[in-house]
Every structure is written in C-alpha cells, then in structure tokens.
Structure 1
Amino acid sequence: MTACIAADPETLAPEPRVAFLSDDAIDILAYAVQSLEEGRGAALVTLVEIRGGAARRLGAQMVVRDDGLYCGFVSGGCTEAAVAADAMIALKKGMDRQLRLGEGSPFIDIVLPCGGGITLAIHVLADVAVLRKALAALDRRMPVCLRYRPGKRALCLRMGEGASGWEGEWFVRAYRAKPRIVVAGTPLEVGAVASVAIAAGYETVALERGQVPSPGELDADTAVALLFHDVDRELAVLTTALASDAFYVGALGSRRTHAKRCEALLACGQVESVLARIKAPIGIFDKARDARALAISIVADIAHARTRLEAAFNPNSHR
C-alpha cells in the first residue's frame, strides 16, 4: 500500500477563477480599486496590440488579484484563465510584463479562434489614487484617459477625450461615461423600454409627465427615446434633445407622423439640418405592434448608434 502525501496548501498558487462576468470598463476599474482597498495585490491587464483579427477591441482590459480572482475580457473567453495565471506570476514577482498570445506567440498550445494574435500589457498596480480619480470623473460623466508607459511601469491620468492606442512610448486607454438612455412617453412603452435597457446594462432615466431635462443633462453619452402618441406633447423634450449633445434622438410614429413633427419643429424655428438628427420611425425595424418588440427594436438601435460612436472615437481599435 502506497502512502500519499498531500501538497502543502501554502506552497500552491491559487487557481485563477472568475470573480464576476463583465466587460464593462468602469466595472473592471472599480474592481481594481476595491481589490487594492481590501489590501489585495492586483494587476491591470490591457490589450495593447492586435495582429490580424481579435475578439475584443484595442484597450480591452482585465483585473487579476493575487488570490486568483479576476474579471474582464481580453479575448472571447478562451484565454482569460491563462492570462490570469500569467498576471499572478507578475504579481508574485512585483514586475510588469508583456504576454503575446496567438499569432507570433511562443505559446503554441494557446490558439485564438479568430486566428490572429494579441499582445497584453500586465501592470502591477501600486497607486489606487489614480484609479479613484478616474472613476470619480467618470461618475461625473467626464471622459478620461489612463496612460501607461511599460518601460517606467508608470500609470497616470489625463482628463478629457482620447482614443485608445499608442502615443509614442505610452499606451492610452480612453474611457467614456456609461451610456444612458432617457425615455419619455406613454407608461406602457416607457416601462418596456426601460426594462430592456436596464437588462442590457444601460443607465436608464424615465421622465415623468411634463418633465423636461436641460440640454446639459443630455450629454454625448446619452440617448433620448420619445414614445409619445401626440406630437404636441413631445415637442418640449424633443427641442431640448436637439439642442443637446445626445448621440441618439429617436421618436415614435409613422413617416406621416414624422412629417407632421418636422412641420411643427420648423414652425418653432428649427432648421432642416437639425431635424436630420431625429431617428423616426424609431428603432431598427418599422411597425413594431407591441411594447416588447418596440423596446427590443429601440434598445438595439441605440446600441448600434453607440457602437458607431465608439468606433469614431477609437478608429484604430479594430477587431
């Protein structure tokens, strides 16, 4: 009979495991801050190069803790555990490192399904204050950039908009506020759209009857969906939305209703070029006859518009 001696748990590295599933950039940064504040070591993993195709855009991120817990995605989910294991080595050594996977990688046993290759920068986080300031700005719906210089292991904050990509020796990761949907109209349609939007992860604001936000409340990361069955009732909110930076303004109704809407807006002093901002009929398909189908159509249309906006801000972050 052979005796078995169990390995000493103290000498074993923790097994990488998912803390929670999310690819939301703000959620990932928040997890990094939480981890550091709990006294855990944490690394920020960033996709800094794409060779061929990739499942994620340039700048996609993960956070990995020294206990093996991680969140975020830098691929389609097929390599994240291996990436987390490599990040844990970086944490143990206290040194930043780079990891190449797929095409051009020494790890021939890790093949990306897309057939391309990626390079990941693993940064051992030391300064929680930078991340706190970034999150505070994003909470105020202000865009920010984190700038990382691998050779110096430096991470710093820059306020304002930017594009994710290399600027000389610095890799810039641009962040925008979470997308928000402001919806107004009849209770049935508003409730359905709000439910779908919340399930899809959007910050959602349902306006009360007669409530009109200021143009400043409708920022460049906000979509406006107007679901009235009476053009006269929507005009105050619609006029405000057209004067704002909202990335999407949509309104319910047929093409005939939209023609009536445009006539009313022109009579109020609007110009044709401004009216072109209105997506009407709202949604990705016409003639949705029930509230649930309408809600799916609208939220999908807003998601499409948001994707185009992100592509415009990050022209080099191809897939």
Structure 2
Amino acid sequence: MSEIFHLLHDAGHAGHRGVLATITALTKPGARAIGAHMAVLEGGESAGSFSSGCVEQAIIAEALAALDEGASRSVRFGEGSRYIDIRLPCGGGMDVSFLVDPAGDVLAQAIDRLDTRQPVALRLDPAGHLALPHDPGATATGWNDGVFTVRHDPRLRLVLLGHGPEMLTSLKLARTFGAEVALYSPDDAIVAAGLAKGTMAVHLLSAADPPALEGDPWTAFLFLFHDHDWEPALIRQALETPAFWIGAMGSRATHAARRAALAAHGLAETAIARIHGPVGVIAGARDPMTLGLSALTEIVGAYHALG
C-alpha cells in the first residue's frame, strides 16, 4: 500500500497531478477488498490493481477524466454501471471513489505511519477531501455518516530464528509474499545469505545471552532450530512482545518437550500456550520448501484474521 501513496506523494511534490482511486463498495465478493487503492498520474502511469486486468484501463480513463474536470467523483463499474462493456469476474458491481490531487501532507503522514509500523486510516468525504482520523487504531474500513474510511495495518513482519535449510527456503517464500523479514541464526553462512538479499540478519553467538528481539501486533516469530538449546531465551523474549503469532518447528513429541523445558525455565503455562506447534497447515511436512510454505500459509492466514 505504501508504494501507492509514495507514487502520488512524489508526483505531487514534483508538481504533477494524480488521482487516488479507492473501492468503496462491492455488491459481490471481488478480486480486491473494499478499501483497495489504485494511483493514477496525469501521464497515465498507475500503481495497484482492482482485478485481473478487466477494469484497470477503465479506471485509468475515469481518473484522467476526473483530472481534466478537476473534480472528485464516484463511479460504479460492473453490474448497474453505465460501462455496459465492462463485466467483473464476480458478476457484481464495484463502486470506486476518484479523489483528485489528494493532499500531500496527508499522504506524507500516511507513509510515515506505515513506514514506522503504525496503523493508518484515511477518510474520504464526498467533497473530495482526504484526512486522517485522530485514532486510526480504533477505526474500521467502511461508511459512517456519509464518509468512507479505510484502515491499513503495517505489512506482515516475519522473524525467522534457527539454522538449517528451512531458514533460507522460508526467507525466500516470505520475501516473495512481500513480508518484511528479519533473520537470526548461529550459522554465519545463513546470516551472510540473508544480508546478501538485503534482509536484516543477526549472527547468534550465545544461547544464554541472545540479542534483544522486537515485535509488534503485526509480527510473527517462526523458530526453526534443530538444536533446541537455542530456543528458551529467545522464545521468552518473543513471548514478551505483542506478536500475533509465535510458532516452532518440530513434531508433537518435540513440542511437548519444548513446553516442558520452557516451564522448567519459569515460563507461565498461559505464556507457553501462545506457542504454535507443530507449525503449518500440512501435517507431517518434512522437506524444507513444503515446511516453509506450510508454516507461511498458517502465518498469513492468522495475519489476515487480525482484521
């Protein structure tokens, strides 16, 4: 989402005009959710999408028409639209708000909030004004008193901790998905591989005295250690964060032993119960790619369930 705001903000800063297009209603489930955005610049450059390609050119054309007129507008596409030649794959209708020349200071604040991993909410009123609510954390996407508000949470942050081939396959999958990734490993080759890909990577030197871990409500911790002596101090730190998901690789027997070891280290049962294990949606996954995909699927599902 941040790249859409960046495109509009940077264009405006350079003296170019643009339009923020936002899905404000759907009559049937569509390819994109309510609150999805596209950015369209005066030269026709765009970012974002609302479908698999069946409506984007019409969105760009409508945005350019709004720019020419100098007025924001709302347009229906699909079912019930004046665009009789455009049919959405879902067969439904989609209402799109076209906000001409969105306020640069508001876009800058939205970018800053997302870049610093804070939720952001944007209010789009019928008059074409863009604003930030005072409490984005308490704001939900939808209509209220004739004003549409859309909330965006920080993107998924995945912290990978461990060693072995599962680390690099999980890193590859998470980066492909678009997650922000951090990596902690006692294996200097894995750390070097992470750094080479532009990933934050930390070399673990001591199981008893590891570096500090940080997590927020949009962070997941995935432990991929074969040597479980590395786990207790690191898991304790992860449990002290508001991370939405914490999980560790291993069989049911391994996880039972892990729980017992953590209890012996003084962790409360309520805290230990937060740890997912065995991880993943594919039971018994063993090869690194399948295990990584299985775990990432569970994590992404939990992330989207945050609402």
TM-score (norm 2): 0.87
Superposed displacement of residue 229, structure 1:
1.5
Look up the match of 2:253.
256
Residue 290 of structure 1: CA displacement?
2.2
Moved more, 93-102 or 34-43: 34-43
What number of residue pairs does the alignment pair up?
283
Mind listing any 5+ residue stretches in structure 2 that lack a counterpart?
185-202
Give, in angstroms, the shift of residue 154 of structure 1. 1.2
Structure 2 residue corresponding to 1:285, chosen from 282, 287, 290: 282
Counterpart in the other structure of 2:58 = 82
Query: Which residue pairs with 2:129 in the alignment?
Result: 154
Which residue of structure 2 aligns with residue 140 of structure 1?
Answer: 116
Instruction: Identify the residue that residue 205 of structure 1 maps to in structure 2.
Output: 182
SS in 2 for 1:95: coil
For 2:170, give the aligned amino acid.
Answer: V
- 1:60 corresponding residue in structure 2: 36
Separation in 2, partners of 1:300, 1:236: 26
Paired residues for 1:120-269 under 5 Å: 120-150=96-126, 152-158=127-133, 159-161=135-137, 162-207=139-184, 208-209=203-204, 210=206, 211-214=210-213, 217-269=214-266
Q: Is the 8 A contact 2:164 2:226 kept in 1?
A: no
Instruction: State the secondary structure of the residue aligned to 1:284.
Output: coil
Whole-angstrom CA distance in 2 between matches of 1:52 and 1:286: 34
Measure how far apart 1:276 and its partner are: 2.7
Q: How big is the shift at 1:188?
A: 2.6
Identify which of structures 1 and 2 has the higher relative contact order when contacts are C-alpha pairs closer than 8 Å and 6+ apart: 1
Structure 1 position 130, deviation (Å): 0.8
Q: Once the 2 structures are TM-superposed, how far is the Cα of residue 187 of structure 1 from its aligned partner?
A: 4.3
Structure 1 residue 126: deviation in Å?
4.2
> Separation in 2 of the partners of 1:36 and 1:187?
47
2:102 and 2:129 in contact (8 A); partners too: no
- Given that residues 146 and 155 in structure 1 are in contact (C-alpha distance below 8 angstroms), is that contact kept between their aligned partners in structure 2? yes
Shift of residue 87, structure 1, vs aligned partner: 0.6
Cα 1:53–1:291 change in 2 (3 A) is closer
How far apart are residue 91 of structure 1 and its match?
Answer: 0.7
1:75 Cα offset (Å): 2.9
Quote the sequence identity (%). 37
Structure 1: which 5+ runs fail to align? 1-24, 314-319
1:294 maps to a residue whose letter is L
| Separation in 2, partners of 1:272, 1:257 | 17
User: Which residue in the other structure is 1:12 paired with?
Assistant: none
Q: Quote how far apart the aligned CAs of 1:124 are.
A: 0.4
**Aligned-partner residue type, residue 68 of structure 1:** G
